[in-house]
Amino acid sequence: MMKYDNPLIYCDYSDPDVYRVGSDHIMTASSFCNVPGLPILKSRDLVHWKLVGYALKKLPDESYARPRHGCGVWAPAIRYHNGLWHICFPMPDEGIFMIRAKDPAGEWSEPVCLYRGAGFIDPCPFWDEDGKAYLVNGVAASRIGFKSRLYITPMAEDGLSLTGETRLVYDGTADGNITVEGPKLYKRNGYYYIFAPAGGVKCGWQVVLRSRYIYGPYESRIVMKQGSTGVNGPHQGAWVEEEDGSSWFIHFQDVFAAGRIVHLQPVVWKDGWPVIGEPVEGETWGEPVSGGELPWDSDEPAEPGGLSGDKDLPSLEWQWNAAPGDGWALPAKGCLRLSAQPFAELAVCDMPNLLLRKWEAPEFEKEFEADITGLPEGSICGMVSLGISYGGIILEKRKDGIMVRSLEGFMVFENEKSRACESRELLGSCGGSRVRIKMKVSNVNGVTAMSPKPEYGLGDEAVVLHPREKVRFSVYAGDGSMLGSYSYPAKAGRWVGVKYGFFCCGEAGELLVKEVKP
């Protein structure tokens, strides 16, 4: 028996979907405007996960040469059919796309557009026992003007085109499952099941729909709620059936600044319906568990990455803020080597050449040495902690050394487009060409609030914990003397958790960044 604790992954893997082939479990997740996109994680035991690659080298639209915060790749679905892995992913402004691969950790095909237009989101392909194929999807009110509806469309057997009429199969407003979205379609014992989240990301619940017929009518049942636990909004994920017949559900929890972290729940089947988590007496639903036991053992540990990978490039955890150009990251041993790019006139949050990675824990501390020897005078570079509210350190190369400034800013969204407001304050200066930047993420206690809307169905006793994190930057000269420090309250990005990383701007030259181990 193997014990596990939730969350499995304290990292922002939003809208996770998982599919098992043999003893291999493959996970993917939303990636929005970050590149590369569609992370691929692998596990043999459902508990220890390793990031092994990305399925999307670039987004299939030239507008993503600059960051479009909150847009891009939303909730994907991953499936295996006829010897090929398939990922179907939506872009809420552009359409629905399919990519395929023989090896999920290898090269994926170029995206094929199944549906072009705004509003259709969260697609999931399904191949039935008779060889027919279908696609289920939800809709985004921000793009199409309405929500809470699920649709099914017949699909070609190869998964590369839609072939018939799109039919409405479920309207969540009819039975209180508002904002139903993210559908995943399965078949078990002659029933079609659609697993779908409802109620909103932070305060919602998990719904399952059931029908004998692919187009319904579907009956609905709530199968998991927050209940008396502290795990808010437990929904949106994947049902996995193991070789031994046991059932499991992998889902996310939104923890605000850190993003959407991954949990694992047991599933039991009663009268043809799943109950997820710890069953609640007298109810159709379960509550999230804090951990448990799996009926197998494993010796497969997770393998976190560092600053550089096997090919002398940034390790897989690092992603760009938008589609990168050639040579933005250069080969290096044990460090990041970023070439200067001409984006100094942009607000830092809108620089495409931010190289970023997700938070990896509720609280943590990192220290880096920035070497600007290879930059000409007038170049700027630095470190950023990026969310809707963001902060960082700006380094300007001067003839006699380095000018150090603090960075603080925030994004305002209007009609799904952002504009930035930011300020920079002088912290100090030093000679030489190297400084150390320390970033510390601390929890400064949480705010506990009642569920804001009674229709969320949490019950009067349920509460949502709103964590509050502070990010503090401290900068030191080469001789160890402090040049200055400041802190700001962290706030999640547009549908994503806070990421931290580096940028380098100028006409030429390069920045070297080395992590300083404690």
CA torsion 414-148-175-186 (nearest 10°) is -140
Catalytically active residues, by annotation: 15, 181
108, 101 Cβ separation under 8 angstroms: yes
Question: Pairing mode, if any, of strands 510-515 and 364-371?
Answer: antiparallel
Question: Pairing mode, if any, of strands 286-287 and 291-294?
Answer: unpaired
Query: What value, to the nearest 5°, has the Cα angle with vertex 413 and ends 407 and 419?
Result: 45
CA distance 403 to 317: 30
Long-range contacts of 156-160 (CB under 8 A, 24+ apart): 157/82, 157/127, 157/131, 157/132, 157/133, 159/81, 159/86, 159/88, 159/98, 159/100, 159/125, 159/133, 160/98, 160/112, 160/114
Residue 77, exposed/middle/buried by CB under 10 A (0-12, 13-18, 19+)? buried
What would the two tokens of residue 480 be?
């160890």
| Residues in CB range of 325: below 8 A, 6 or more apart | 341, 353
CA distance 251 to 262: 6
Give which of 320, 500, 491, 323 is closest to 413, Cα–Cα: 491
CA distance 184 to 179: 15
| Residues in CB range of 245: below 8 A, 6 or more apart | none
Phi, psi angle pair for 155, to nearest 5°: -130, 150
What would the two tokens of residue 454 be?
């009674």
Give which of 147, 165, 138 is closest to 74, Cα–Cα: 138
Q: CB 501: neighbour CB atoms within 10 A?
A: 22
Give which of 274, 300, 293, 436 is closest to 370, Cα–Cα: 436
CA distance 329 to 58: 16
Residue 417, classed as helix, strand or coil, is strand
H/E segment holding residue 91: strand 84-91
Q: Is the dihedral of CA 439, 318, 234, 74 positive or negative?
A: positive
DSSP assignment of 167-200, as one string? EEEEEGGGTT-TT----EEEEETTEEEEEEEES-
